[in-house]
Structure 1
Amino acid sequence: MEDELVAHLPTDVRAALRFFAYYLGNGTLDVDLLDGIDYRAHLLEYGSDLEMVFAIFANVLEVDELGETVNDGDAQYRAAQWIRRRCDPGYQVEPPFEAWETELHGP
């Protein structure tokens, strides 16, 4: 273990994830787009939707060479668009999601 490197997510990325989870759980994720939609019960009822919301946020989130996030607001908005579409089938996501935004990574 002497040469083993342990890396952690940059502090800014951890903060972005924490705030995203807070707004999501608090029901205040992008209040303009999701105004009047209580999406929390829906996300908990269908776990795959919650999985996709976090995947979209993480896939869209960009980090610069210093490990600082550069677009956490955009990442939150794209996740909010997914939620809105799942709760409001008449809502049109603009621009439409690209495959890389909704890709699920991992085992």
Structure 2
Amino acid sequence: MAHLSTDVRSALRFFAFYLGNGTLDVELLDGIDYRARLLEYGSDLEMIFAIYANVLEVDEHGETLNDGDAQYRVAQWIRQCCDPGYQAEPPFEAWETELHGP
């Protein structure tokens, strides 16, 4: 059975760290403490990880290619949830927010 590369595992670990301590894209989310909302509504956290995993690109060697872009798209989604006046640009496409699994 194949495993995620160490680069992908590292990207996931740092993503979870930034998300959990409130430092995910500090410029876009400046002044927005989104952490309580994530714990209140489990589906928000589910969507955050779905967007990150759907947007993240990995090359044939298992190296991540766009970790920053994946984190930024998540930050845009969080901002949309917390700031009704904000609209992500470009708008989210269906493949970015698709939930996979049983």
What range describes the TM-score normalised by the shorter chain of this pair? over 0.9
TM-score by length of 2: 0.99
- 1:67-106 matches, within 5 Å, as 67-106=62-101
Q: Distance in 1 between matches of 2:60 and 2:3?
A: 15
- Alpha-carbon shift at residue 7 of structure 1 (Å): 1.2
Counterpart for residue 13 of structure 1: 8
Aligned CA-pair RMSD: 0.4
Q: Which of these residues, 24, 33, 42, is aligned with residue 28 of structure 2?
A: 33
From the CA coordinates, give the structure whose radius of gyration is larger: 1
* Stretches of structure 2 lacking an aligned partner (at least 5 in a row): none
- Look up the SS of the partner of 2:45 in the other structure: helix
Counterpart amino acid of 2:61?
A: L
Residues 24-52 of structure 1, C-alpha deviations (whole Å, 9 max, x = no match) = 00100000000000000001101100000
SS of alignment partner, residue 90 of structure 1: coil
Q: How many residues align?
A: 102
Aligned to 1:46: 41
In the alignment, the residues of structure 1 paired with residue 84 and residue 29 of structure 2 have an alpha-carbon distance, to the nearest angstrom, of 13
Match of 1:65 among 60, 68, 72: 60
Distance 2:20 2:87 in 1: 24
Q: Deviations over 1:51-104 (max 9, x none)?
A: 000000000000001100000000000001010000001101000000000000
* TM-score, length of structure 1 as denominator length: 0.94
